[in-house]
Amino acid sequence: MIFDLDGTPADIGFPDTYLAETEPNGLLAIGGDLSKERLLSAYRHGIFPWYSPGQPILWWSPAPRMVLYPGEFHVSRSLRRTLRRGALRISVNQAFAEVIKACAAPRDLVGGSWLLPEMIASYVRLHEAGYAHSIEVWENHRLVGGLYGIALGRVFFGESMFSRRTDASKVAMAQLAELALSQPFDLIDCQVYTEHLSSLGAREISRDDFLLALYRGIDAESRPLGILPMRPASDLVTAVPAGGQ
């Protein structure tokens, strides 16, 4: 069943995610808005917006769910070599707007992006409110990779990543995995399966398991994720989670 949120107040909440469609997988609701209140309510229930130009806002909660447990992050030999070379530097919350705009850039000859201007503006507002965060990867002071997402309690909801250099998005994920152990974050939501995420240790879990981990995590305390200055990505070599050995 697909629910229509148009004309409803932002604090009305969302339908039970068990009512989401199986085809297309996870479609739960349409319409509404991208206000801070509605977005945070969505993430707290494992729901996220994803739509294309010309479509209404589409709200999704797919099953199975792709997640990364921080201790299971995997570092390949090639990524470890990239980290050790020392050419890249990393930072946190230093360039959120630049990261999300880079994630929105077309990645093929067809062009187009699901990150529309109104979505970018909404996530920038969440960043200014302390909920949305970015990880940046730099080479010679040029932004070459990164990711952004939402942090609630001990759950980080990954939204998108980009790479302009080999392994740059993987370096950003390595930084996120390190942060997850220190914050701590118990769970990194990756939404849907990709080979790229699977190669980093992410895996699919059932809706039951995801919701159990989600509700346990968002109600737990975690330190605020602030600004971390630029530092060598090689620092991550000694901070690899046990699952990546």
Mean pLDDT per 10-residue section of the chain, whose length is 245 residues: 93 94 97 97 97 95 97 93 95 98 76 80 98 98 97 97 96 96 95 96 98 96 92 88 46
Residue in 92, 195, 99 with CA at minimum distance from that of residue 147: 99
* Domain-wise residue ranges, the chain: 3-62, 66-244
Structure tokens at 108: 């093929």
CA atoms lying within 13 Å on the CB side of residue 33:
11
Q: Which fold has domain 66-244?
A: Aminopeptidase (3.40.630)
pLDDT in tens, 52-101: 999 999 999 999 999 999 999 999 999 999 999 989 999 999 999 999 99
What is the predicted pLDDT for the residue at 113?
64
Angle, vertex CA 51, rays to CA 45 and CA 55, nearest 5 = 125
Residue 152: phi, psi to the nearest 5?
-135, 115
Length reported for the chain: 245
Q: How far apart are CA 130 and CA 33, in angstroms?
A: 20
CA atoms lying within 13 Å on the CB side of residue 194:
8
pLDDT in tens, 33-61: 999 999 999 999 999 999 999 999 999 99
Residue in 134, 199, 141, 157 with CA at minimum distance from that of residue 65: 157
Q: Per the omega criterion (within 30 degrees of 0), is the bond before 184 cis?
A: yes
What is the predicted pLDDT for the residue at 242?
42
Residue in 154, 164, 229, 227 with CA at minimum distance from that of residue 186: 154
Which of 1.20.1740.10, 3.40.50.720, 3.40.50.300, 3.30.70.3550 is the CATH number of 3-62? 3.30.70.3550
3-state secondary structure of 215: helix
**First-to-last CA distance in the chain?**
44
* pTM for this model (two decimals): 0.94
